[in-house]
Amino acid sequence: MTPTVELAIELIRRRSVTPDDAGCQRLLAKRLFALGFNIEHLRFGEVDNLWARLGTEGPLFAFAGHTDVVPAGPEEQWQSPPFEPTLRNGFLHGRGAADMKGSIAAMTTACERFLAGKKQPAGSIAFLITSDEEGPATDGTVKVVEHLENRGEKIDWCLVGEPSCTNELGDTIKNGRRGSLGGRLRVKGVQGHIAYPHLAQNPIHAALPALTELCAIEWDRGNEFFPPTSFQISNIRAGTGATNVIPGEMEVVFNFRFSTEVTDTELRQQVKTILGAHGLEYELEWTLSGQPFLTPAGKLVDAARTAIHEITGIEPQLSTSGGTSDGRFIAPTGAQVLELGPLNATIHKIDEAVGIEDLEQLSAIYQKILVNLLGYKQE
């Protein structure tokens, strides 16, 4: 039982279903305080956040992550209870093992080894930990970043511990993410009897041509870092449940995952133009969850690639695939942001797990990144 596995177990044991932190951040704060970190507990709304910093000089390297987890689902379907961490066949099982309590444990033990013997980094190290990543993400990292910006505190390099790898630890670094723009469209019609369509107006019939056009558009062709922008409908709702009633309204929920080749303003305008061209009477609400961001080759990318190769022998690939992460709130401040964590094969699933050896290697990679980026002050 290594320090990294022991800490991961302690974190998983806490039932921190979003937005409940369940004491995880207090546990981390105690470990970091013992290393000399200045501790700030920042609560916004119902969300607990931790900002811990060692040092006052630049450059500032920050680990970022979240202690909240998604619900376990039917607990009787788990081989072992989701909040009773279990070691089995070389894996640590439990909700949050991969997403992302394992990464947080690896970050913490990496710092403990890096700072052993009271060594001082040539710069500052920080932890930005929230309990609002799996939920609305309105009172978590985004609020901490605003708080730091208001007092002029700038992150130079940020490593988010989201599970990034596909087949083996270190095979993928996420150096960016697509933007996410959601829409909730309400198309208005006139309810009526299905036998008398001339006395009604069917919003489904009216909307389908416009939706077909939206599905067929090539929004852009992407670029060397991002795939083409995609438009996907996730929900359609209409009708009363009766088979002989023309509905009076239709609701469509859709989402854009967009590249840096197009802006959210351009997407909104094009949708408005298409809906207007089809003569629809509608209401449309937009939700911008995050802008696309990209960290090109530079000090952070180089430090991560070198560390992964030294520890695992793998040459990692850079990727911007997947959903959103809290990196979308940190990158706009000018920070270089990467995501690097364990395999994502079991995240949000029944019997979520992380490889025990992977945790140890991940901690070693994080430590090597600290060495590569900061090093130590000359005595």
Please say if 249 is a catalytic residue.
no
- CA pair distance 14, 87, nearest whole angstrom: 16
- CA pair distance 90, 353, nearest whole angstrom: 10
Phi then psi for residue 356, to 5 deg, are -65, -45
- CA pair distance 341, 166, nearest whole angstrom: 10
Chain center to CA of 308: 21
Q: Catalytic: which of 21, 48, 68, 358?
A: 68
First to last CA, the chain: 35
**Helix, strand, coil % (nearest 5) of the chain?**
35, 30, 40
DSSP for 149-202, written as a single string: HHTT---SEEEE----BSSSTTSEEE-EE-EEEEEEEEEE-B-EETT-GGGSB-
Nearest to 159 by CA among 305, 28, 315, 322: 305
- Between strands 124-130 and 249-258, the pairing is unpaired
Please say if 68 is a catalytic residue.
yes
Count, residues in the chain = 379
Task: Check if the beta carbon of residue 67 is closer than 8 Å to that of residue 131.
Answer: yes
Q: Catalytic: which of 20, 21, 48, 133?
A: 133
Task: Check if the beta carbon of residue 23 is closer than 8 Å to that of residue 14.
Answer: yes
Other Cβ atoms within 10 Å of 195 Cβ, number: 8
Instruction: Name residues whose C-beta falls within 8 Å of residue 357's C-beta, 6 or more positions apart in sequence.
Output: 90
Task: Check if the beta carbon of residue 48 is closer than 8 Å to that of residue 143.
Answer: no
The residues annotated as belonging to the active site are: 68, 133
